[in-house]
Structure 1
Amino acid sequence: MLNVSIHASRRLGEDKTEGSAWNGLAIVLQEVGRPGDALTAYANARKLLLQTGNLASLANLYNNEGVALSRAGRLQEAFTVHEYAGLVIYEAGSPEQAIPLHEAALAINRSIPSRRGEAVSLGNIGAALAEAGRLEDAISAYCRSAEIFKNDLNAFSAGEEYEALARTLQRAGKGTTEIRSAWEAATRAYIDAGALGNAARARHEAESV
Protein backbone atom coordinates (compact mmCIF):
# COMPACT_ATOMS: atom_id res chain seq x y z
CA MET A 1 0.00 0.00 0.00
CA LEU A 2 2.85 2.37 0.85
CA ASN A 3 4.55 1.67 -2.47
CA VAL A 4 1.26 2.53 -4.22
CA SER A 5 1.17 5.80 -2.26
CA ILE A 6 4.74 6.59 -3.27
CA HIS A 7 4.08 5.95 -6.96
CA ALA A 8 0.84 7.97 -6.89
CA SER A 9 2.58 10.92 -5.24
CA ARG A 10 5.38 10.74 -7.77
CA ARG A 11 2.91 10.90 -10.67
CA LEU A 12 1.28 13.94 -9.11
CA GLY A 13 4.63 15.60 -8.51
CA GLU A 14 3.93 16.11 -4.80
CA ASP A 15 7.30 16.13 -3.05
CA LYS A 16 5.81 16.50 0.44
CA THR A 17 3.37 13.61 -0.01
CA GLU A 18 5.99 11.38 -1.61
CA GLY A 19 8.48 12.27 1.12
CA SER A 20 5.96 11.41 3.82
CA ALA A 21 5.22 8.11 2.07
CA TRP A 22 8.92 7.22 1.99
CA ASN A 23 9.12 8.13 5.69
CA GLY A 24 6.19 5.81 6.42
CA LEU A 25 7.79 3.01 4.41
CA ALA A 26 11.04 3.48 6.33
CA ILE A 27 9.22 3.14 9.66
CA VAL A 28 7.59 -0.12 8.50
CA LEU A 29 10.92 -1.49 7.26
CA GLN A 30 12.49 -0.57 10.58
CA GLU A 31 9.75 -2.36 12.52
CA VAL A 32 10.11 -5.58 10.49
CA GLY A 33 13.86 -5.72 11.08
CA ARG A 34 15.24 -4.36 7.82
CA PRO A 35 17.37 -1.44 9.09
CA GLY A 36 19.47 -1.11 5.93
CA ASP A 37 16.41 -0.76 3.70
CA ALA A 38 14.85 1.59 6.25
CA LEU A 39 17.85 3.92 6.10
CA THR A 40 17.68 3.95 2.30
CA ALA A 41 14.01 4.92 2.50
CA TYR A 42 14.81 7.66 5.02
CA ALA A 43 17.45 9.03 2.63
CA ASN A 44 14.85 9.18 -0.15
CA ALA A 45 12.38 10.90 2.19
CA ARG A 46 14.97 13.43 3.33
CA LYS A 47 15.89 14.40 -0.24
CA LEU A 48 12.25 15.14 -1.04
CA LEU A 49 11.29 16.86 2.21
CA LEU A 50 14.31 19.17 1.99
CA GLN A 51 12.72 20.56 -1.19
CA THR A 52 9.40 21.32 0.52
CA GLY A 53 10.66 23.55 3.34
CA ASN A 54 8.31 21.76 5.76
CA LEU A 55 10.46 21.93 8.89
CA ALA A 56 8.15 19.94 11.16
CA SER A 57 8.00 17.00 8.74
CA LEU A 58 11.75 17.16 8.18
CA ALA A 59 12.50 17.18 11.91
CA ASN A 60 10.19 14.20 12.43
CA LEU A 61 12.03 12.39 9.66
CA TYR A 62 15.44 13.11 11.18
CA ASN A 63 14.23 11.88 14.56
CA ASN A 64 13.00 8.60 13.03
CA GLU A 65 16.22 8.24 11.08
CA GLY A 66 18.20 8.80 14.27
CA VAL A 67 16.36 5.92 15.96
CA ALA A 68 17.12 3.66 12.98
CA LEU A 69 20.80 4.61 13.03
CA SER A 70 20.99 3.92 16.77
CA ARG A 71 19.50 0.46 16.28
CA ALA A 72 22.02 -0.16 13.51
CA GLY A 73 24.85 0.72 15.89
CA ARG A 74 25.79 3.88 13.96
CA LEU A 75 25.72 6.06 17.05
CA GLN A 76 27.75 9.05 15.85
CA GLU A 77 25.47 9.47 12.84
CA ALA A 78 22.43 9.02 15.10
CA PHE A 79 23.66 11.84 17.34
CA THR A 80 24.10 14.12 14.33
CA VAL A 81 20.59 13.61 12.97
CA HIS A 82 18.89 13.90 16.40
CA GLU A 83 20.80 17.10 17.12
CA TYR A 84 19.99 18.53 13.71
CA ALA A 85 16.30 17.68 14.15
CA GLY A 86 16.29 19.56 17.45
CA LEU A 87 17.92 22.60 15.89
CA VAL A 88 15.43 22.60 13.02
CA ILE A 89 12.47 22.54 15.41
CA TYR A 90 14.07 25.21 17.62
CA GLU A 91 14.66 27.52 14.66
CA ALA A 92 11.07 26.93 13.57
CA GLY A 93 9.93 28.48 16.87
CA SER A 94 9.07 25.33 18.83
CA PRO A 95 11.72 25.10 21.57
CA GLU A 96 9.63 22.83 23.81
CA GLN A 97 9.41 20.23 21.03
CA ALA A 98 13.15 20.52 20.41
CA ILE A 99 14.04 19.49 23.97
CA PRO A 100 13.33 15.73 23.68
CA LEU A 101 15.26 15.59 20.39
CA HIS A 102 18.33 17.10 22.05
CA GLU A 103 17.81 14.79 25.03
CA ALA A 104 17.88 11.80 22.64
CA ALA A 105 21.18 13.12 21.26
CA LEU A 106 22.46 13.51 24.83
CA ALA A 107 21.62 9.88 25.65
CA ILE A 108 23.48 8.71 22.55
CA ASN A 109 26.56 10.75 23.45
CA ARG A 110 26.60 9.27 26.93
CA SER A 111 26.42 5.76 25.48
CA ILE A 112 29.26 6.30 22.95
CA PRO A 113 30.69 7.95 25.20
CA SER A 114 31.55 11.41 23.87
CA ARG A 115 32.19 14.13 26.42
CA ARG A 116 32.34 16.84 23.78
CA GLY A 117 29.08 15.63 22.25
CA GLU A 118 27.51 15.51 25.69
CA ALA A 119 28.48 19.14 26.31
CA VAL A 120 27.10 20.20 22.90
CA SER A 121 23.78 18.47 23.60
CA LEU A 122 23.52 19.99 27.08
CA GLY A 123 24.16 23.44 25.64
CA ASN A 124 21.43 22.97 23.05
CA ILE A 125 19.08 21.66 25.74
CA GLY A 126 19.86 24.75 27.80
CA ALA A 127 19.07 27.07 24.90
CA ALA A 128 15.76 25.32 24.19
CA LEU A 129 14.78 25.29 27.86
CA ALA A 130 15.61 28.98 28.22
CA GLU A 131 13.59 29.87 25.12
CA ALA A 132 10.69 27.83 26.50
CA GLY A 133 10.84 29.82 29.75
CA ARG A 134 12.12 26.91 31.88
CA LEU A 135 14.95 28.97 33.30
CA GLU A 136 15.92 26.84 36.31
CA ASP A 137 16.32 23.76 34.12
CA ALA A 138 18.23 25.82 31.57
CA ILE A 139 20.63 27.03 34.27
CA SER A 140 21.35 23.45 35.29
CA ALA A 141 22.00 22.37 31.68
CA TYR A 142 24.31 25.33 30.99
CA CYS A 143 26.27 24.65 34.20
CA ARG A 144 26.92 21.05 33.23
CA SER A 145 27.82 21.96 29.65
CA ALA A 146 30.27 24.66 30.73
CA GLU A 147 31.98 22.39 33.26
CA ILE A 148 32.45 19.60 30.71
CA PHE A 149 33.94 22.00 28.16
CA LYS A 150 36.17 23.48 30.86
CA ASN A 151 37.41 20.08 32.04
CA ASP A 152 38.02 18.94 28.46
CA LEU A 153 40.11 22.07 27.82
CA ASN A 154 37.75 23.52 25.22
CA ALA A 155 38.09 27.01 26.60
CA PHE A 156 36.19 29.00 23.97
CA SER A 157 33.13 26.75 24.11
CA ALA A 158 33.27 26.91 27.91
CA GLY A 159 33.25 30.69 27.65
CA GLU A 160 30.17 30.61 25.42
CA GLU A 161 28.32 28.35 27.86
CA TYR A 162 29.28 30.46 30.89
CA GLU A 163 28.07 33.54 29.00
CA ALA A 164 24.75 31.83 28.19
CA LEU A 165 24.52 30.84 31.85
CA ALA A 166 25.11 34.41 33.00
CA ARG A 167 22.41 35.78 30.71
CA THR A 168 19.95 33.12 31.87
CA LEU A 169 20.73 33.88 35.51
CA GLN A 170 19.96 37.53 34.76
CA ARG A 171 16.65 36.60 33.13
CA ALA A 172 15.80 34.45 36.15
CA GLY A 173 16.42 37.37 38.52
CA LYS A 174 19.23 35.67 40.43
CA GLY A 175 21.53 37.51 42.83
CA THR A 176 24.35 39.73 41.66
CA THR A 177 27.04 37.48 43.17
CA GLU A 178 25.88 34.45 41.18
CA ILE A 179 25.54 36.42 37.95
CA ARG A 180 28.92 38.11 38.35
CA SER A 181 30.56 34.75 39.06
CA ALA A 182 29.25 33.36 35.76
CA TRP A 183 30.50 36.39 33.82
CA GLU A 184 33.91 36.08 35.51
CA ALA A 185 34.07 32.38 34.58
CA ALA A 186 33.29 33.36 30.99
CA THR A 187 36.04 35.98 31.11
CA ARG A 188 38.65 33.47 32.32
CA ALA A 189 37.62 30.90 29.73
CA TYR A 190 37.82 33.41 26.90
CA ILE A 191 41.26 34.54 28.08
CA ASP A 192 42.43 30.91 28.11
CA ALA A 193 41.12 30.57 24.54
CA GLY A 194 42.94 33.72 23.43
CA ALA A 195 39.62 35.38 22.57
CA LEU A 196 40.52 38.70 24.15
CA GLY A 197 37.67 40.69 22.61
CA ASN A 198 35.14 38.27 24.07
CA ALA A 199 37.00 38.35 27.38
CA ALA A 200 36.88 42.15 27.51
CA ARG A 201 33.15 42.16 26.82
CA ALA A 202 32.50 39.50 29.48
CA ARG A 203 34.59 41.42 32.01
CA HIS A 204 32.60 44.58 31.27
CA GLU A 205 29.38 42.65 31.88
CA ALA A 206 30.77 41.32 35.19
CA GLU A 207 31.67 44.80 36.34
CA SER A 208 28.27 46.16 35.31
CA VAL A 209 26.23 43.71 37.38
Structure 2
Amino acid sequence: MIADDEPLIRAGIRMILTSDREIEVVAEAANGREAVDLARSHGVDVVLLDIQMPVMDGLTALGELRRATPTARVIVLTTFGERENVLRALEYGGAGFLLKDTAPAELIRAVRAAAAGDAYLSPGATRHVVDQLASGRVAARGEEARARVAGLSGREREVLALLGEGLSNADAGRRLHMSEATVKTYVSRILAKLECENRVQAALLARDAGL
Protein backbone atom coordinates (compact mmCIF):
# COMPACT_ATOMS: atom_id res chain seq x y z
CA MET A 1 0.00 0.00 0.00
CA ILE A 2 1.12 3.54 -0.79
CA ALA A 3 0.10 6.25 1.69
CA ASP A 4 0.84 9.82 0.58
CA ASP A 5 -1.39 12.86 0.29
CA GLU A 6 0.07 13.89 -3.09
CA PRO A 7 -1.57 12.07 -6.03
CA LEU A 8 1.45 12.66 -8.26
CA ILE A 9 3.80 11.05 -5.73
CA ARG A 10 1.50 8.05 -5.38
CA ALA A 11 1.27 7.67 -9.16
CA GLY A 12 5.04 7.77 -9.52
CA ILE A 13 5.60 5.20 -6.78
CA ARG A 14 2.92 2.93 -8.24
CA MET A 15 4.52 3.09 -11.69
CA ILE A 16 7.92 2.15 -10.25
CA LEU A 17 6.64 -0.71 -8.10
CA THR A 18 4.40 -2.25 -10.75
CA SER A 19 7.42 -2.52 -13.06
CA ASP A 20 8.38 -5.45 -10.83
CA ARG A 21 6.14 -8.42 -11.62
CA GLU A 22 6.31 -9.75 -8.07
CA ILE A 23 5.05 -6.55 -6.44
CA GLU A 24 1.35 -5.71 -6.43
CA VAL A 25 0.01 -2.35 -5.26
CA VAL A 26 -3.33 -3.24 -3.69
CA ALA A 27 -4.31 0.11 -2.17
CA GLU A 28 -3.53 3.83 -2.04
CA ALA A 29 -4.30 6.15 0.85
CA ALA A 30 -4.34 9.96 0.90
CA ASN A 31 -4.12 10.33 4.67
CA GLY A 32 -3.20 8.37 7.79
CA ARG A 33 -6.74 7.36 8.66
CA GLU A 34 -7.30 5.87 5.21
CA ALA A 35 -3.96 4.08 5.50
CA VAL A 36 -4.97 2.32 8.71
CA ASP A 37 -8.42 1.38 7.38
CA LEU A 38 -7.13 0.13 4.02
CA ALA A 39 -4.23 -1.80 5.55
CA ARG A 40 -6.68 -3.60 7.81
CA SER A 41 -9.16 -4.41 5.03
CA HIS A 42 -6.58 -5.45 2.42
CA GLY A 43 -4.19 -7.35 4.67
CA VAL A 44 -1.17 -5.64 3.11
CA ASP A 45 2.38 -6.95 3.54
CA VAL A 46 4.25 -3.65 3.14
CA VAL A 47 3.20 -0.03 3.64
CA LEU A 48 5.05 2.96 2.19
CA LEU A 49 4.00 5.72 4.58
CA ASP A 50 4.50 9.46 4.23
CA ILE A 51 4.94 11.40 7.48
CA GLN A 52 3.23 14.67 6.59
CA MET A 53 -0.41 13.86 5.79
CA PRO A 54 -3.79 15.40 6.68
CA VAL A 55 -6.52 13.93 8.93
CA MET A 56 -3.96 11.68 10.65
CA ASP A 57 -0.22 12.16 10.27
CA GLY A 58 2.10 9.30 9.38
CA LEU A 59 3.57 8.88 12.86
CA THR A 60 0.16 8.50 14.47
CA ALA A 61 -0.85 6.17 11.67
CA LEU A 62 2.30 4.10 12.21
CA GLY A 63 1.34 3.48 15.82
CA GLU A 64 -2.17 2.43 14.81
CA LEU A 65 -0.87 0.26 11.97
CA ARG A 66 1.40 -1.61 14.38
CA ARG A 67 -1.61 -2.39 16.55
CA ALA A 68 -4.16 -3.05 13.80
CA THR A 69 -1.93 -4.99 11.37
CA PRO A 70 1.15 -6.12 13.34
CA THR A 71 2.45 -8.27 10.46
CA ALA A 72 2.54 -5.35 8.01
CA ARG A 73 6.01 -3.89 7.47
CA VAL A 74 6.03 -0.08 7.37
CA ILE A 75 8.65 1.90 5.46
CA VAL A 76 8.57 5.61 6.18
CA LEU A 77 9.00 8.08 3.31
CA THR A 78 10.81 11.20 4.46
CA THR A 79 13.05 14.14 3.65
CA PHE A 80 16.25 15.36 5.29
CA GLY A 81 14.25 18.09 7.01
CA GLU A 82 12.31 15.58 9.12
CA ARG A 83 15.10 13.92 11.12
CA GLU A 84 13.33 14.07 14.46
CA ASN A 85 10.24 12.50 12.92
CA VAL A 86 12.37 9.75 11.38
CA LEU A 87 13.82 8.92 14.80
CA ARG A 88 10.34 8.62 16.28
CA ALA A 89 9.20 6.48 13.35
CA LEU A 90 12.07 4.03 13.86
CA GLU A 91 11.44 3.85 17.59
CA TYR A 92 7.75 3.19 16.90
CA GLY A 93 8.73 0.07 14.98
CA GLY A 94 9.03 1.27 11.40
CA ALA A 95 10.87 -1.17 9.15
CA GLY A 96 13.10 1.57 7.77
CA PHE A 97 13.01 4.76 5.82
CA LEU A 98 13.57 6.08 2.32
CA LEU A 99 14.15 9.59 1.10
CA LYS A 100 11.56 10.77 -1.40
CA ASP A 101 14.26 11.37 -4.01
CA THR A 102 15.49 7.78 -3.79
CA ALA A 103 16.32 5.92 -6.99
CA PRO A 104 13.59 3.65 -8.41
CA ALA A 105 15.73 0.50 -8.07
CA GLU A 106 16.34 1.29 -4.40
CA LEU A 107 12.60 1.70 -3.78
CA ILE A 108 12.02 -1.79 -5.17
CA ARG A 109 14.87 -3.22 -3.09
CA ALA A 110 13.39 -1.64 0.03
CA VAL A 111 9.95 -3.15 -0.57
CA ARG A 112 11.45 -6.56 -1.27
CA ALA A 113 13.58 -6.38 1.88
CA ALA A 114 10.61 -5.37 4.03
CA ALA A 115 8.47 -8.14 2.55
CA ALA A 116 11.22 -10.62 3.43
CA GLY A 117 11.13 -9.47 7.05
CA ASP A 118 14.23 -7.25 6.97
CA ALA A 119 14.42 -3.58 7.82
CA TYR A 120 15.78 -1.34 5.08
CA LEU A 121 18.29 1.41 5.69
CA SER A 122 18.75 3.59 2.64
CA PRO A 123 22.47 3.27 1.79
CA GLY A 124 22.53 6.74 0.27
CA ALA A 125 21.29 8.47 3.42
CA THR A 126 21.47 6.15 6.41
CA ARG A 127 24.90 7.04 7.72
CA HIS A 128 24.26 10.77 7.53
CA VAL A 129 20.77 10.65 9.04
CA VAL A 130 21.55 8.13 11.78
CA ASP A 131 24.64 10.12 12.77
CA GLN A 132 22.54 13.22 13.13
CA LEU A 133 19.83 11.42 15.06
CA ALA A 134 22.29 9.71 17.36
CA SER A 135 24.27 12.85 18.19
CA GLY A 136 21.52 14.19 20.41
CA ARG A 137 20.89 10.85 22.06
CA VAL A 138 24.32 9.54 23.05
CA ALA A 139 24.72 11.49 26.28
CA ALA A 140 21.27 10.66 27.57
CA ARG A 141 21.09 7.05 26.44
CA GLY A 142 24.68 5.91 26.06
CA GLU A 143 24.96 4.31 29.47
CA GLU A 144 21.79 2.27 29.01
CA ALA A 145 22.86 1.22 25.51
CA ARG A 146 26.32 0.14 26.69
CA ALA A 147 24.76 -1.96 29.44
CA ARG A 148 22.52 -3.74 26.93
CA VAL A 149 25.36 -4.33 24.48
CA ALA A 150 27.63 -5.70 27.23
CA GLY A 151 25.79 -9.04 27.08
CA LEU A 152 26.85 -9.67 23.48
CA SER A 153 29.81 -11.76 22.42
CA GLY A 154 32.76 -10.15 20.68
CA ARG A 155 31.61 -11.31 17.25
CA GLU A 156 28.05 -10.16 17.91
CA ARG A 157 29.38 -6.71 18.81
CA GLU A 158 31.31 -6.62 15.53
CA VAL A 159 28.17 -7.46 13.57
CA LEU A 160 26.15 -4.90 15.53
CA ALA A 161 28.75 -2.22 14.81
CA LEU A 162 28.34 -2.87 11.08
CA LEU A 163 24.57 -2.61 11.43
CA GLY A 164 25.23 0.81 12.91
CA GLU A 165 27.07 1.73 9.73
CA GLY A 166 24.03 0.74 7.68
CA LEU A 167 25.65 -2.29 6.04
CA SER A 168 23.52 -5.05 4.57
CA ASN A 169 24.04 -8.68 5.60
CA ALA A 170 26.00 -9.30 2.41
CA ASP A 171 28.27 -6.27 2.92
CA ALA A 172 28.82 -7.15 6.59
CA GLY A 173 29.71 -10.69 5.57
CA ARG A 174 32.34 -9.46 3.14
CA ARG A 175 33.80 -7.16 5.79
CA LEU A 176 33.99 -9.97 8.38
CA HIS A 177 34.81 -12.78 5.90
CA MET A 178 31.58 -14.61 6.75
CA SER A 179 28.71 -15.89 4.61
CA GLU A 180 25.57 -13.80 4.29
CA ALA A 181 23.58 -16.62 5.93
CA THR A 182 25.92 -16.63 8.92
CA VAL A 183 25.55 -12.86 9.32
CA LYS A 184 21.78 -13.22 9.15
CA THR A 185 21.93 -15.77 11.97
CA TYR A 186 24.03 -13.38 14.05
CA VAL A 187 21.60 -10.53 13.35
CA SER A 188 18.63 -12.63 14.52
CA ARG A 189 20.50 -13.55 17.69
CA ILE A 190 21.48 -9.92 18.32
CA LEU A 191 17.91 -8.67 17.89
CA ALA A 192 16.67 -11.27 20.36
CA LYS A 193 19.34 -10.46 22.95
CA LEU A 194 18.86 -6.70 22.68
CA GLU A 195 15.06 -6.99 22.48
CA CYS A 196 15.02 -4.90 19.31
CA GLU A 197 12.15 -5.29 16.86
CA ASN A 198 14.33 -4.82 13.81
CA ARG A 199 17.83 -3.98 12.61
CA VAL A 200 17.03 -0.28 12.41
CA GLN A 201 16.50 -0.10 16.16
CA ALA A 202 19.65 -2.18 16.64
CA ALA A 203 21.61 0.27 14.46
CA LEU A 204 20.52 3.20 16.60
CA LEU A 205 21.40 1.26 19.74
CA ALA A 206 24.86 0.58 18.32
CA ARG A 207 25.39 4.30 17.81
CA ASP A 208 24.13 5.08 21.33
CA ALA A 209 26.61 2.54 22.72
CA GLY A 210 29.47 4.14 20.82
CA LEU A 211 30.09 1.17 18.52
TM-score w.r.t. structure 1 length? Answer: 0.33
**TM-score normalised over the length of structure 2:** 0.33
Higher RCO, 1 or 2 (CA under 8 Å, sep at least 6)?
2
Higher percent of residues as strand: 2
Q: Which has the larger radius of gyration?
A: 1
**Which has the larger share of helix?**
1
